[in-house]
Structure formats: structure tokens, C-alpha cells
Amino acid sequence: MTAGLPRSFRHIQVLAKQHANTITLGQLMRNTRSDPVSLIRQGQWLRGQLPIRFARRLDEFLQLPYVVVHNKNIKQVLDIYVDTFESVSDFPSILTEKDEAEFAGLVQAQLQKHQAVARLIAEGYREVRMAYPHFRLDSFLDRLFITRISVRILMENYIRMRTPQEGYIGVVQKDMSPHRIIQELSQEILRLTEAIYGVAPEIEFRGNMSCTLDYIPRHVQFMCQELLKNAVRATTERHKPRDRQNFGFASEPVMPKVVVELQKGDVHVIIKISDQGGGVPKKVQDEAWQYGWTTADNDHEDEEDPYSGCTWRKELAGYGFGLPLTRLHAQYFGGDVFMQALPGHGTDMYLLLNHLKQGSPSTEEDDPSTALTVTENQSVNAP
């Protein structure tokens, strides 16, 4: 892409106005089969649908103010989206197993290129708002990340179709254990907290720790990582000893625990993460869900991109994207996340996850991406 418009600008404009086919997670799961006919069919569908989805986001990108779209980080994301759009659009028809294998290689390569997108957007948005504090792009970012969640599921599920894994239907793990995921995350979070602060609170698990559900593990890892990281950091910063050498003696109070409680209802698995980290003042509780709101220092430790693993590099810490992205991921399949804060004491965060079994309402009803696509289809068809 040059400094001006991409060479495919007119093609982007045309496809952005085309009708995109919607698909539910249930339909995707039922079509997740590894035989050559199914792989070719899914490859053909993606080759036709991915360019439309990327074209719509690109069309929005190119309508952003000049100072936004020419920020070096945001422009890098724009270039990645243009590259994906052009690579998929230019790919020839998929007719044979060889064609499909080559297309799968292209999809895999594009997935790798998109790993840094969340971090680049967060860095770019922070830089833009530092120069222009009145700029708010929450609606644009919601649509961007809703589409990102959707296309990542479609692309990753397609790659998973080629190598079926026991206990999985594509990207969905059957009988996934949230307790096991959170336990693994907690070990890494506590280790890094101790490395940074010298101390860390204990994490206590309560409730139905044997509960399971069908879900996408990577989504649960990202959401729980964000909520647990916030709770541990708030607790540590509020209760860390003034004199580390005396920590644990009578002169210093014992650091309160972070409590993780799991329960399983008829519709949801509920994960409650409670801390005594001081809470959030009432006047800023709504702001906490806006992109860019943060209490972390800009030079704080890095946070992990939600799609490149969960080693907690923390590449987003200090950018304020964690809570709004957690809410988007939860709401995507009909769940939610909400906060109950007691200013001056602590915070309870509730994460509700819908069961994603085949045929359940959460897999057959329209998700936010489908709703967004329907809305955009209606605007395309409007006189």
C-alpha cells in the first residue's frame, strides 16, 4: 500500500456494498468435517465471504480522520487488512484438493499477520488521544473487534478442520474446564506479580470447581486473564508492604486473598473474581468500559494480544482495552461481564459464559457479528 489509497480501493468500495452471508456457530460446528469435499466447500465459502467482511472494515478505516488513519500503528493495521483483502480476493477459484491446501496455507499466513492487530490499534489509539483528547472511536472499535472475533473464529475453525483434535469441534472444546484454565493462568500471573512487586496475594478457588462447558478456550483464557490480572494488580498495589523485609511480621498486615468462585447454572457458567484492591470510584465506573481508560502507568508491564497465546506478555497494559474487549468476547455468544465495585474496599467482577453445545440457543441465535452483518446488509440494500 502506498501513502495514498490502496490499489484495490475501488474493489474495496464495491465489495463493501455487497451482501454478506451470515452464519451461526451451530451451522459452523455442523459443517466442521475433515473430508476433502467439506474442506473445499468451506474454502470456497471463505474465499467469497472474507473479502466482504474485510472490505467493510477497510471502508470504515478509510473514512477516519487523517490524523487517525495516518498514525503509524493504525496505518500498519490498515496495511495488514489491505494485504489480507487483496490476497484472498486475488486467490483463484478453489476446485481441487491442491487448490484448497494452498488456500489453507494462505489463511494460516494471514492469521499470523493479524496477531499484532489488537496491540497496534491500542498503541495507535493511545497516541491519537494523547494529541487529540476529544477523539473517541468506541463505536468504530466495537465494530472492528466484533468483525475481528468473527473472522478469527471462521479462519481458525477452517484450519482446525484439517487436523481434527479429540475433544474439539473445530475451535470449540467440549467439556472445557474453566477452573483448569484459570488455575494455569493464576500460576503465571502470581509468578510475574512477585517478580514485579516482590509480593503477590494468594488466589483462592471456591464453588463448583468441577463445572464444565463447551466453549472456545482461547476466549476464556483472554477474558479470565484480564479480570484476574486486574484483581491481582489492584490487591498488590493497595496492600503491598511499605517495608518488604518486614512483610509477614506483625508490623505488616497479611495481604487479602483474591477469590475466584465458579458456579454452573442452567444457561451460564458464572465466574466471580473478587478482590480487596480498593474498588473503582462510582463516577468512573462507566468510563472503565471505554477504550483507552486505564489506571496503569504507560511504562507498565506488557499484556498479551488475546489471539497470540496467553503467556501474559501484557502488551496492552496501560492501554485500557482489556475490559471493553472482555465484554465484547463475553457478549459475542450471549454472555456478559459486569462490575460490582465498593469504592474504598474492592471489586467483584462477574463473567457469564453461555454453554456452546450444538443446538443450544447460544449457538443458533445471532451473535453480534451476525447482527452487525445484518445491519450492514440492510444499509447496503437501502434505497
pLDDT of residue 327: 95
| pLDDT tops 70 at residue 241 | yes
Of 301 and 143, the structure prediction assigns the larger pLDDT to 143
Most confidently predicted of 87-96, 132-141, 294-303: 87-96
pLDDT of residue 251: 52
Residue with cell 506478555: 313
pLDDT of residue 2: 41
Q: What is the C-alpha to C-alpha distance for residues 241 and 254, in angstroms, rounded to an integer?
A: 9
Architecture field, domain 6-165:
Up-down Bundle (1.20)
**pLDDT (average), residues 214-227:** 96
Cβ contacts of 349 within 8 Å, gap of 6 or more? 227, 230, 231, 272, 273, 274, 337, 338, 339, 340
**pLDDT (average), residues 62-75:** 94
| pLDDT tops 60 at residue 316 | no
Residue with cell 477504550: 291
Percent of the chain exceeding pLDDT 90 equals 71
In sign, the C-alpha dihedral spanning 111, 141, 233, 340 is negative
Per-residue DSSP letters for 78-95?
HHHHHHHHHHHHTSPP--
Residue 334 Ramachandran class (φ > 0 left, ψ -120 to 50 alpha, else beta): left
Q: What is the C-alpha to C-alpha distance for residues 220 and 76, in angstroms, rounded to an integer?
A: 28
| pLDDT tops 50 at residue 3 | no
Task: Please report, for residues 19, 271, 320, the alpha-carbon distance to residue 349 in angstroms, rounded to integers and kept in the order given.
Answer: 39, 8, 16
The one-letter amino acid at 206: R
What cell does 45 get? 465459502
Q: How confident is the model at residue 94 (pLDDT cuts 50, 70, 90)?
A: very high
pLDDT of residue 302: 44
The one-letter amino acid at 77: V
Measured in whole angstroms, the distance separating CA 185 from the mean position of its chain's CA atoms is 16
CB 323 within 8 A of CB 349: no
**pLDDT (average), residues 203-232:** 96
pLDDT of residue 306: 43
Of the given ranges (14-18, 271-275, 318-322, 336-340), which has the lowest mean pLDDT? 318-322
pLDDT of residue 244: 53
pLDDT of residue 356: 87
Quickly name the fold that domain 170-240+254-293+308-352 has.
Heat Shock Protein 90 (3.30.565)
| pLDDT tops 80 at residue 173 | yes
pLDDT of residue 248: 52
Q: Tell me the CB-side half-sphere exposure of residue 70, using CA atoms within 13 A.
A: 7
Cβ contacts of 246 within 8 Å, gap of 6 or more? 252
Q: Where are the domains of the chain?
A: 6-165, 170-240+254-293+308-352
Q: Is 286 helix (H, G, I), strand (E, B) or coil?
A: coil
Indicate the pTM of the whole model.
Answer: 0.88
| pLDDT tops 50 at residue 299 | no
Other beta carbons within 10 angstroms of residue 345's beta carbon come to 12
pLDDT of residue 117: 96
CB 375 within 8 A of CB 381: no
Per-residue DSSP letters for 222-235?
HHHHHHHHHHHHHH
| pLDDT tops 90 at residue 347 | yes
| pLDDT tops 60 at residue 52 | yes
Residue 358 has φ and ψ, to the nearest 5°, of: -60, 130
In sign, the C-alpha dihedral spanning 349, 175, 356, 55 is positive
Supply the mean pLDDT for the chain: 88
Of 300 and 111, the structure prediction assigns the larger pLDDT to 111
**Per-residue pLDDT tens digits for 351-371:** 999 988 877 777 877 778 877
| pLDDT tops 80 at residue 153 | yes
Of 217 and 283, the structure prediction assigns the larger pLDDT to 217
**Per-residue pLDDT tens digits for 78-87:** 999 999 999 9
Task: Please report, for residues 47, 62, 84, 206, the alpha-carbon distance to residue 375 in angstroms, rounded to integers and kept in the order given.
Answer: 22, 20, 24, 42
**pLDDT (average), residues 235-262:** 78
Cβ contacts of 144 within 8 Å, gap of 6 or more? 57, 60, 121
Kindly tell me the burial class for residue 63, based on how many C-beta atoms sit within 10 Å of its own C-beta (0-12, 13-18, 19 or more): exposed
